[in-house]
Amino acid sequence: MSNFYLDNKDLQFQLDHPMHRKIVELKERQFALRKDYEQAPVDFDDAMDNYRRVLEITGEVCGEVIAANAEEVDHEGPRVANDRVVYAAGTQRNLDAVNAAGLGGMTLPYKYDGLNFPLFCFVMANEMVARGDAGFENLWGLQDCAETLNEFASEEIKEFFLPMVSEGATCAMDLTEPDAGSDLGAVMLRATYDEKSDRWLLNGVKRFITNGDGDVALVLARTEDGTKDARGLSMLVHDKRDGGIKVRRIENKLGIKGSPTCELVFTNAPARLVGDRKMGLIKYTMALMNAARLGIGAQSVGLCEAAYREALKYAHEREQFGKPIIQFAAVSEMLSNMKAKLQGARALLYETTRFVEIYKQYAHIAAERDLTPEERTEMKFYNRLADAFTPLLKLFSSEFSNQLTYDAIQIHGGSGFMKDYPCERLYRDARITNIYEGTSQLQVVAAINGITKGVFVEQIAQYGGFEELRRKLDEMVARVDELDKQTPGYKDFHARRLVETAGWIVMAQLLERQTKEHEMYVDSAEILAKLAQSKIDEAYTYLMHSPTGDVELFNRVQNEIL
Amino acid sequence: MKKLNIVVLAKQVPDTRNVGKDAMTAEGTVNRAALAAIFNPEDLNALEMALALKSQIPGTTVHVLTMGPERAEEILRDSIFRGADGGTLLSGREFAGADTLATSYALTCALKKLNPDLVVAGRQAIDGDTAQVGPQVAGKMDLPQVTYAEEVVEIKESTLVIKRRLERGVETVECPVPAVITVNGTAPDCRPKNARRVMRYKNMPLTVWGAADVDPDMDQLGLNGSPTKVKKIENVVFRAKECKRMTGTDTEIEGMMKELIASHTIG
């Protein structure tokens, strides 16, 4: 029996973080929800008992069903028949299993038949699903769309759609179009209000839509005739049963092949408006994307876990020159680095999750009653941290998942290049993580604010330790501030070096903090600190020797035309 | 078919996949404390068959009956998390040390109180591997039995059409209800535990019956009612002591066949 929760001590450790007591109390409204819902926990211990039990069920479904189907799903993939998506048989079995286990609507309130679990449980579940099959994580993780409805939609919409998701309906977020990828402000799909049916009718094309044939679709569309930018866009929700969306084709992808990536044609597809007009991109899509980035963080960490385990197993089994290859220094160093990165990324994942969760819970509570001044301050504090940490997490975890799956193949040698071992699938699956939901380059753009506004420096000081690395970060930030005034573009040029420096320090600090609670982190913390030191030294040397002329130097390639 | 009152017979068993030196007590019974306790695998297949019938025949209920020490209640709760409506534990010193005969007798006493339309059990338990309890219950209840069942192919007005998985093929039979069905490990896996049911039922009280509750003939219970005595169990690992290499020519294969027949290894 394979259980992805019970076999993972690091994951179990994350569940017991001291800050979770506060989060659970907020989520359960000081356990007052028990009055109306018999399934609600009576106290903190009761709640944690529920989480453990359900994570154990999730771990079993992931280990016994989802992981077991992964290879077959990768080979078979979904197909289009009569304008609809037909999932691979294994994907359908996965969906049946997660639905039988009642894992839909994990974070949704009891009122909408949800489990009302904290976000950290959902992230843990996501991570385990991704470890089993990263492509399937997309389908299952998209239930997160319901959170955006829960946050911004009218009560009428919530009462209609959220119980569907709790019962296992799948979701899609229909954002990208052929000419609107990273630049979503250019979305052209038209929404026109039809008075007779009191619905908006959608017309146009969407592309690269994950699970585009899902039961519930959140659609970014242009409601304001004649506009051309983000201010004319609104968010709408569509029920698949109403018809009007056809799947024109499914992309043939490098990885996550079980997850259907669709091109959709909308012909008078009826939809309802979510929240206010014109706020579609500016507010709701940004919330959706932030949640999705946390999801990719979980997906990436799941891939890291899978890659590390495959590599470790093989390194013990494979013998060369009369001994297992793990006994060669070159291999054991790779594995040690992989483990440190895996645990560092996971620590960052759950730290970010906590920041996101606290401010989101206050936002929900604010809809029920006025927040106290202290609560408002706290909400702002965590909102600011969440905005800075989310892109940092997405950047590091996705890059790490690429590095670890690459290393896993390397450890397998020639065998890893063949289709005989799972590591080649993991490698292909990981490749999308630093591209979708905003490329790594865009995560840097989002995270650099955290550098210039001082969020990272403050939080890093709060965590403490690592004085030398912090001093280097301060020097780098000071130099960039100064030289950017002389040569605009200097900050952009060095943004990634600054963000990565902050990220390495944060991860080293988080693992260091974990060593105080559990000895299993001692080695990884020391190894991650070494990696941080060397990466920061490299960035520091580059940046401190970089004249303002570098901006122009690296722009010159723009004149090169083939 | 009208709604059924189904009782699933289940057993908590020591995980015999890892038998160590202390697997036996001095009295020759299984030392339960030394081994992890699990839901007998084929009883999970039986539970799934019952739950599938419940979803197909409106009004049907699934109740799980087990006999064992207090902790055997774990598999009842597990069953409820997977979709069963309730569970009863037969527990007490009087039941202890029972062989299949005494076990089937005790279960029959309880079943008479539960009055089921259908009894579904796993083919056999991994600790004893006898496959006797299901058929013995059928005998004592005077009910028809379908053993080695893999799938209920059709539900008719008063009968069930059942596919049996036998050593040399498949047999499809039609049987009236009430009946006893024993289910093979080749039947569909049991559905997972359900998160919502876990939250609702984790503290639900379960019925525990002692000997007095099932009105038995005390001489037929437990050790008293068990003619079987286990002398010893051990973990046997098959290992080839010597091996012969051949290249696969016709003469070699023919020679090997003759040799194996002569030694009565085959044939």
Asked if A499 and A395 touch (Cβ cutoff 8 Å), the reply is: yes
Instruction: Report chain A residues whose CB lies below 8 A from the CB of B197.
Output: 102
- pLDDT at residue B19, rounded to an integer: 65
- CA-based end-to-end distance of chain B: 48
User: With bands split at pLDDT 50, 70 and 90, how would you rate the model's confidence at A416?
Assistant: very high
CATH of domain A171-277: 2.40.110.10
Interchain CB contact of A97 with B (< 8 Å):
yes
CATH (residue range A1-169): 1.10.540.10
A388 Cβ neighbours under 8 A, 6+ residues apart: A447, A449, A450, A455, A456, A459
Short-list A181, A113, A454, A147, CA closest to B194: A113
User: What secondary structure, in 3-state letters, does A312-350 show?
Assistant: HHHHHHCEECCEEHHHCHHHHHHHHHHHHHHHHHHHHHH
B126 within 8 A of B16, measured Cβ to Cβ: yes
Q: Is B258 inside any structural domain? A: no
Q: In angstroms, rounded to a whole number, what is the distance separating the alpha carbons of residues A187 and A373? A: 39
Q: What is the pLDDT of residue B99?
A: 87
Q: Which of A39, A41, A97 sits opposite B196 (nearest CB)?
A: A39
Cβ-Cβ contacts under 8 Å for A458 (sequence gap 6 or more) = none
Residue-wise pLDDT tens digits, A330-374: 999 999 999 999 999 999 999 999 999 999 999 999 989 999 999
Give the integer Cα–Cα distance in Å for A130 and A295. 10
How many Cβ pairs within 8 Å bridge chains A and B?
A: 42
Q: Can you tell me the mean pLDDT for A262-287?
A: 95
Q: In this structure, is residue B232 part of a structural domain?
A: no
Exposure string of A14-32, with b = 16+ CB inside 10 Å and e = fewer, is: bbebeebeebbebbbbebe
CATH number at residue B100: 3.40.50.620
In the predicted model, is pLDDT for residue B17 greater than 80?
Answer: no
Strand, coil or helix: A254: coil
Q: What is the pLDDT of residues B100-141, one digit of tens each?
A: 888 999 999 999 999 999 999 999 998 888 889 999 999 999
Average pLDDT, chain B: 90
Residues of chain B contacting residue A69, judged by C-beta atoms under 8 Å apart: none
Burial class of A298 by CB neighbour count within 10 A (0 to 12, 13 to 18, 19+) = buried
Provide residues of B within 8 Å CB-CB of chain A: 191-200, 202
How distant is the Cα of B75 from the closest Cα of chain A, in angstroms? 15
- Within a domain: residue B242? no
Q: Tell me the mean pLDDT in the region B214-223.
A: 88
Residues A115, B198: C-beta atoms closer than 8 Å: no
> Is the model's pLDDT at A495 over the cut of 70?
yes
Joined tokens for residue A192: 């026109």
User: Would you report the helix, strand and coil content of chain A in percent, each value rounded to 5?
Assistant: 65, 10, 25
Q: What would you report as the CA-atom Rg of chain B, rounded to the nearest whole angstrom?
A: 21
What count of other Cβ atoms lies within 10 Å of the Cβ of residue A434? 23
- Secondary structure string (H, E, C) spanning A95-120: HHHHHHCCCCCCCCCHHHCCCCCCHH
Domain annotation covers residue B261: no
| A110-132 mean pLDDT | 97
State whether B195 and A103 contact (CB < 8 Å).
Answer: yes
Domain map (residue ranges) of chain A: 1-169, 171-277, 279-438, 440-552
Give dist(CA A475, CA A454) in Å, integer. 13
Q: Taking CB atoms and an 8 Å limit, are A50 and B198 in contact across chains?
A: yes
* pLDDT given at position B248: 80
Q: Is residue A137 a contact partner of residue A4, using CB atoms and an 8 Å limit? A: no
As a whole number, mean pLDDT of residues A433-447 equals 95
Report the range of poorest mean pLDDT among A150-164, A435-449, A487-501, B239-253.
B239-253
pLDDT at B18: 64
Whether residue A303 contacts residue A406, with contact meaning beta carbons closer than 8 Å, is answered with: no
How far apart are alpha carbons A216 and A144 in whole angstroms?
11
Question: How large a percentage of chain A has pLDDT more than 90?
Answer: 96
Q: How much is the pLDDT for B20?
A: 67
Confidence category of residue B29, pLDDT binned at 50, 70, 90: low
Q: Which helix (H) or strand (E) holds B46?
A: helix B41-56
C-alpha dist (Å) from residue A200 to A193, A263, A277: 4, 21, 12
Angstroms from A409 CA to nearest CA on chain B: 33
Position of tokens 């839909």?
Answer: A104
Say which range, A330-344, A372-386, B231-245, has the weakest mean pLDDT: B231-245
What CATH class does A440-552 carry? mainly alpha
Question: For A216, phi and psi rounded to 5 degrees?
Answer: -125, 125
Average pLDDT over residues B149-159: 96
Q: Quick one: pLDDT at residue B235? A: 64
* Nearest-neighbour CA in chain B from A518: distance (Å): 27
Taking CB atoms and an 8 Å limit, are A102 and B200 in contact across chains? no
Establish if B105 belongs to a structural domain: yes
Any idea what DSSP says for residue A230? G
B148, B184 Cβ separation under 8 angstroms: yes
Write out chain B residues lying below 8 Å of A50, CB-based.
198-199, 202
pLDDT beyond 70 at A424: yes
What confidence score (pLDDT) does residue A377 get? 96
Across A423-441, average pLDDT: 96
Contact B192 A49 (CB under 8 A): no
Read off the pLDDT band of B245 (50, 70, 90).
Answer: confident
Average pLDDT in the B18-36 region?
A: 69
What mean pLDDT, rounded, does chain A reach?
Answer: 96
**pLDDT tens profile A46-96:** 999 999 999 999 999 999 999 999 999 999 999 999 999 999 999 999 999
Q: CA neighbours within 13 Å on the CB side: how many for A201?
A: 10
Facing residue for B195 by CB, picked from A38, A49, A115 = A115
pLDDT in tens, B169-181: 999 999 999 999 9
Q: Comparing C-alpha atoms, which of B130, B70, B56 is closest to residue B100?
A: B130
Residue B183 pLDDT more than 90?
Answer: yes
Contacts of B37 in chain A (CB under 8 A): none
Three-state secondary-structure class, residue B150: strand
Domain count, chain B: 1
> Which strand (E) or helix (H) includes residue A236?
strand A233-239
Share of chain B above pLDDT 90, in %: 62
pTM recorded for the entire structure? 0.91
Q: pLDDT category, B28, cuts 50, 70, 90? A: low
Average pLDDT over residues B49-61: 97
Residue B27's pLDDT band, with cuts at 50, 70 and 90, is low
In a domain, B22, yes or no: yes
Q: How far is B196 from chain A (nearest CA, A)?
A: 6
Please name which of A314, A346, A481, A342 lies closest in space to residue A413, comparing C-alpha atoms: A314
Q: Inform me whether the pLDDT recorded for B32 exceeds 70.
A: no
* Token reading at A81: 């028949």
Distance separating alpha carbons of residues A248 and A83, to the nearest angstrom: 6
Distance, CA of A508 to CA of A526 (rounded, Å): 8
- Maximal CA-CA distance, chain A: 79
| Per-residue model confidence as pLDDT tens digits over A500-510 | 999 999 999 99
CATH class of A279-438: mainly alpha
Q: Which range, of A29-33, B78-82, B89-93, B253-257, averages the lowest pLDDT? A: B253-257
Give the pLDDT of residue B36.
84
Segments forming the whole domain that contains residue B115:
5-225
Beta bridge pairs of residue B208:
B89
Q: A192 - beta bridge partners? A: A201
> How far apart (Å, rounded) are the C-alpha atoms in residues B93 and A73?
52
Partner residue opposite B196 with nearest CB, options A49, A61, A102 = A102
Instruction: Please give the single-letter amino acid code of residue A51.
Output: Y
Whole-number Cα distances in Å, A348 to A355, A389, A397, A398, A507? 11, 8, 9, 12, 6
pLDDT greater at residue A548 or residue B221 = A548
Which two structure tokens, joined as six digits, stand for B128?
Answer: 């004893």
Tokens of A277: 């007009």
